[in-house]
Amino acid sequence: MAPVAIGAVLLLPTSWLMLPSAVVFLLALWEWLRLAEVEDTLARSILLACNLALMVALVWGSRSQHAGALPLFQVAVVLGVAWWLLSLLWLRHYDFAARHDGNARMFKLAAGTAAIVPAWCALALIHASQPSGHRWLLLALLLVWAADTGAYFTGRRFGGQWFGGRRLAPRISPNKTWEGVVGGVVLAMLVAVLGALVIGAHAAQLPGIALVAAITVLFAVAGDLFESLLKRHAGLKDSGTLIPGHGGVLDRMDSVLAALPVFALGKIWLGF
């Protein structure tokens, strides 16, 4: 699927990219609703339609002569980053909303909208930015992929050696290590600097870009852990079965959902 995603990011204009990306993000939300234990198909369809209506409203409300402005998208991105900061508290308190009741379901439904819609808005904002927005979006995705690779190999080689055997989140994801996080952050920062130079960033911008990359990866880890938390609460191994042999769409996108709003906000704030 990677060549298709890369081709779409590099070749499609933003308005056209937003359409297939909305489909993918809504498929991930469909699986999120399953993890929130909304079993009734009609109820899930109505909730999905409500989120689609919110996306359409954001597009409608952001119309302006400047195609890349998207003011409501910027607001959504800020709210998305705020949500992921709040999610850190949820991750710390594992049992919050763990019961199989209506209150827990409402929290998880709200979390789904707060994760999916801002990430989609961030994708559009990054891609629409000038110049070379399509390349910056590809770099944002590469950071997540590089972080996964660096975390895997560093965790396998050095797991349990640098931090006294402490695991990252043993109750949520026992195999994740702090050593893996360090390896993922380092490789992502290297990819960010090299990628920014290829795109055309100035040398003075590189420290800021590396910092944004590091923070982006840390939030990506939080996104991965949060989906693992939802799956443990629901007693499920995979979010879905839409990708044969690889679980669901949400399993492939959990890190991206948290990473995109952070990268977009950092890009806007630092102006690269």
Domain ranges of the chain: 2-270
- pLDDT exceeds 70 at position 83: yes
Top pLDDT among 223 and 242 is at: 223
Mean pLDDT computed over 203-229: 96
- pLDDT exceeds 80 at position 242: no
pLDDT score at 132: 93
pLDDT score at 245: 62
Say if residue 203 is exposed, middle or buried (CB neighbours under 10 Å; 0-12, 13-18, 19+). exposed
- pLDDT exceeds 60 at position 119: yes
Find the range with the poorest average confidence among 36-40, 69-73, 245-249.
245-249
pLDDT score at 239: 85
Alpha carbons 82 and 114: distance in angstroms, whole number? 9
How does the average pLDDT of the chain come out, rounded? 92
- Residues contacting 93, CB < 8 A, separation 6+: none
- pLDDT exceeds 60 at position 19: yes
- pLDDT exceeds 90 at position 182: yes
The residue written with tokens 């679980």 in the block is 247
Mean pLDDT computed over 68-97: 92
The residue written with tokens 């938390």 in the block is 229
The three-state secondary structure class of 45 is helix
Alpha carbons 116 and 87: distance in angstroms, whole number? 14
Helix axes 102-128, 133-158, angle to 10 degrees: 120
Alpha carbons 240 and 166: distance in angstroms, whole number? 31
- Residues contacting 205, CB < 8 A, separation 6+: 196, 270, 272
Mean pLDDT computed over 108-133: 96
The three-state secondary structure class of 175 is strand
The three-state secondary structure class of 227 is helix
Mean pLDDT computed over 123-137: 95
Alpha carbons 108 and 69: distance in angstroms, whole number? 31
Which secondary structure element, helix H or strand E, spans residue 85, and what is its range? helix 71-92
The three-state secondary structure class of 169 is strand
- pLDDT exceeds 90 at position 54: yes
- pLDDT exceeds 70 at position 98: yes
| 88 and 225 Cβ atoms separated by less than 8 Å | no
pLDDT score at 256: 97
pLDDT score at 20: 95
| 63 and 269 Cβ atoms separated by less than 8 Å | no
pLDDT score at 163: 85
Residue 66: phi and psi, rounded to 5, are -90, 110
Mean pLDDT computed over 257-262: 98
pTM: 0.94
Mean pLDDT computed over 218-243: 90
| 122 and 261 Cβ atoms separated by less than 8 Å | yes
Q: How confident is the model at residue 164 (pLDDT cuts 50, 70, 90)?
A: confident
pLDDT score at 267: 96
